[in-house]
């Protein structure tokens, strides 16, 4: 009787052992394919070589997509390998995310984006992926710092009339999409590196953070070494910012703004665009009817809008920055650098 009871357990152990062996074999096969495929750096290949490698990478993707349940654990294991190819870490993280859009997969992608060599990746794609994660709350400060390290970098938006996006615009999209509590210290870190080629752009971006913390931080910065234009921007931000005059008889109610803004955060833009069309200078109503407790929502709307990453949303970002500055700036913010800042 005891022996008969042991038979199911023995069968289970045998099955588990076989399954484990099959899983290990599958992972070994995938690892071999990955290592033979990802043995290159894209920027070092000719166009013809890139075409060949692209077809080889497709085979890796096809192998994982054919048996995702079996292969995804193997892919995660390969991505964690200490000797993993740098390009594979990025491309593999995109493969993982395409099949498993979980927080864990996004974390793989964030790590890859913060490390990938900008010479190896399409810059338009890079900015798009970074802003997508930044607006979701992920810390993309490493990616932003490396972007700022390339002041001559640029890309084009074919869907927007081949509009050129320069390094400063790309930096605005990246840092503007980040939560200010992440972006402000990240920008200060760049600013405090006197040999960082993007520190002046970082200073410009800091003037637009428009939080009490960012304004206090501006007062602490030693402006020596910055251009006269940059120094003037900081002084103007602190002492005489461009503020909006609230409309005495608002054309839009707070409830209408709340509905429209919450829609933007949820990915619905119709109410917002209708308000823009209805009242072209609606920012004067925003500062008239919105309350201090609405500031987090207004900031989030600004982040969502700029994450679209095109020339049109820059105007929205500028307008919302002016709205935020009008709502947070007070004369008593102007204090000496020794007044506890």
Nearest to 79 by CA among 101, 102, 97: 97
Two tokens at 163? 């509009």
| 325 Cα distance to chain centroid | 23
Give the CA distances from residue 114 to residues 86, 108, 144, in Å, rounded to whole numbers and listed in that order. Answer: 12, 10, 8
Q: What percent of the chain has pLDDT over 90?
A: 86
What one-character DSSP code corresponds to residue 44? G
Return the pLDDT at 158.
83
d(CA 271, CA 269): 6
pLDDT at 1 > cutoff 50: no
Mean pLDDT of the chain: 91
In tens, the pLDDT along 307-329 reads: 999 999 999 999 999 999 999 98
In the structure, what pLDDT confidence band is assigned to residue 162 with cuts at 50, 70 and 90?
A: confident
Partners of 163 in the beta sheet? Answer: 157
Cα atoms in the 13 Å half-sphere on the side-chain side of 315: 6
pLDDT at 291 > cutoff 90: yes
Where is 146: in which H helix or E strand? helix 141-148
pLDDT at 247 > cutoff 50: yes
pLDDT at 336 > cutoff 90: no
Give the CA distances from residue 62 to residues 30, 36, 55, 102, in Å, rounded to whole numbers and listed in that order. Answer: 11, 15, 10, 20
DSSP string for residues in 155-208: EEEGGGTTEEE-HHHHHHHHHHHS-HHHHHHHHHHHHT-TT-TTHHHHHHHHTT
Mean pLDDT of 1-15: 49
Q: Which residue has the higher pLDDT, 23 or 221?
A: 221
Q: Which residue has the higher pLDDT, 331 or 70?
A: 70
Question: Could you tell me the residue ranges of all domains in the chain?
Answer: 20-121, 254-332
pLDDT at 274 > cutoff 50: yes
Return the pLDDT at 222.
94
In the structure, what pLDDT confidence band is assigned to residue 108 with cuts at 50, 70 and 90?
A: very high
Cut 0.95: pTM above it: no
d(CA 325, CA 22): 61
Give the CA distances from residue 122 to residues 175, 234, 312, in Å, rounded to whole numbers and listed in that order. Answer: 19, 33, 21
| Helix, coil or strand: residue 82 | coil
Lowest mean pLDDT segment, chosen from 14-23, 177-186, 225-234? 14-23
d(CA 57, CA 41): 13
In the structure, what pLDDT confidence band is assigned to residue 330 with cuts at 50, 70 and 90?
A: confident
Q: Which residue has the higher pLDDT, 21 or 182?
A: 182
- Kindly report the number of other CB atoms within 10 A of residue 339's CB atom: 10
Mean pLDDT of 87-108: 96
Return the pLDDT at 31.
94
């Amino acid at each position: 009787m005891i022996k008969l009871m042991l038979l199911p357990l023995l069968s289970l152990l045998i099955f588990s052992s076989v399954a484990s062996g099959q899983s290990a074999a599958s992972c070994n096969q995938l690892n071999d394919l990955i290592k033979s495929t990802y043995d290159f750096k894209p920027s070092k290949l000719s166009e013809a070589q890139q075409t060949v490698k692209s077809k080889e990478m497709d085979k890796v993707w096809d192998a994982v997509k054919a048996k995702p349940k079996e292969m995804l654990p193997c892919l995660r294991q390969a991505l964690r390998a200490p000797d993993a190819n740098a390009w594979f870490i990025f491309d593999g993280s995109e493969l993982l995310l395409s099949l498993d859009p979980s927080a864990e997969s996004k974390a793989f992608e964030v790590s890859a984006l913060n490390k990938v060599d900008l010479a190896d990746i399409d810059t338009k794609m890079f900015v798009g992926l970074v802003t997508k994660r930044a607006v979701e709350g992920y810390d993309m400060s490493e990616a932003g710092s490396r972007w700022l390290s390339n002041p001559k970098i640029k890309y084009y938006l074919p869907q927007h009339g081949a509009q050129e996006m320069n390094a400063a615009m790309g930096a605005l999209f990246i840092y503007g999409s980040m939560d200010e509590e992440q972006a402000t210290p990240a920008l200060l870190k760049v600013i405090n590196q006197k040999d960082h080629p993007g520190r002046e752009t970082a200073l410009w971006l800091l003037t637009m953070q428009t939080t009490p913390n960012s304004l206090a931080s501006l007062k602490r910065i030693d402006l020596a070494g910055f251009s006269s234009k940059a120094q003037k921007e900081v002084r103007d931000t602190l002492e005489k910012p461009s503020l909006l005059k609230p409309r005495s008889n608002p054309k839009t109610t707070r409830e209408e703004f709340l509905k429209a803004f919450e829609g933007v955060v949820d990915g619905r833009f119709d109410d917002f665009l209708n308000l823009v069309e209805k009242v072209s200078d609606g920012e004067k109503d925003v500062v008239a009817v919105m309350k201090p407790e609405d500031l987090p929502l207004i900031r989030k709307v600004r982040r969502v809008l700029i994450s679209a990453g095109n020339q049109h949303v820059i105007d929205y970002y500028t307008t919302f920055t002016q709205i935020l500055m009008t709502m947070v700036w007070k004369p008593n913010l102007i204090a000496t650098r020794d007044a506890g800042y």
